[in-house]
Amino acid sequence: MGVLSAVANAAVAILSLTISFSAPLLGAQAVLPSGLYPEPLQAFRRWYAAEFDDYLLGPNPPGFFRGVIWLEFVFLWPIAVATFYGILTRRPWVATTSLMAGVNTLTATSAILGDILGSGRATPKLLLSYVPFGVLGVIAILRGLCSCYQRTAIGSSPTSSARKKRV
């Protein structure tokens, strides 16, 4: 079980680290004024959109995608940073932040993949840039749920319960 937990932690750390950098540097360019970003970051976004046929990060992203980006930038980004910190420092609350990040990531990825597949613009490259986030989101959810269960089971054992004071 320790190896599986370590693999799950590594997967959640990769997800959190990716979101920690991509949300403010790449995704937020779709909703924030372009003057906030230096030209190399704008060029990277244009290159990525052209290379992976990612019409979502192109010059005119769909309205739902802007909403997803705002949610990612305002909610998921701080949670991802906290989750990465929590994994590195082995904090007990990382199960909760992992669960939150996983649910948010899986929900957003489901909407994005639904649009990509429904629009008929799905290419193997484009799918390979979004499907891993769905998989990592599921792993983050399972990591959060399993950690919560283990903590509850351990915390409710008779040896760890509070003892009555004798007067």
The pLDDT tens digits of the residues spanning 98-121 come to 999 999 999 999 999 999 999 999
Name the residue range of residue 128's domain.
2-155
Backbone φ, ψ for residue 16 (5° rounding): -65, -40
63-72 long-range contacts, CB within 8 A, separation 24+: 64/111, 64/115, 65/30, 65/112, 65/115, 66/30, 66/31, 68/108, 68/111, 68/112, 69/27, 69/28, 69/30, 69/31, 70/31, 71/104, 71/108, 72/19, 72/23, 72/27, 72/104, 72/108
How many distinct structural domains can be found in the chain? 1
Tell me if 83 is assigned to some domain: yes
Instruction: Write down the pTM of the prediction.
Output: 0.82
pLDDT, averaged across the chain: 89
69-100 pLDDT tens trace: 999 999 999 999 999 999 999 999 999 999 99
Residue 42 belongs to a domain: yes
Name the percent of the chain lying above pLDDT 70. Answer: 87
Is-contact 94 87, C-beta < 8 A? yes
Q: Tens of pLDDT along 127-136?
A: 999 999 999 9
Q: What is the pLDDT of residues 14-59, one digit of tens each?
A: 999 999 999 999 999 999 998 999 999 999 999 999 999 999 998 8
Domain-located, residue 123: yes
Residue 161 lies in a domain: no
Residue 167 is assigned to a structural domain of this protein: no
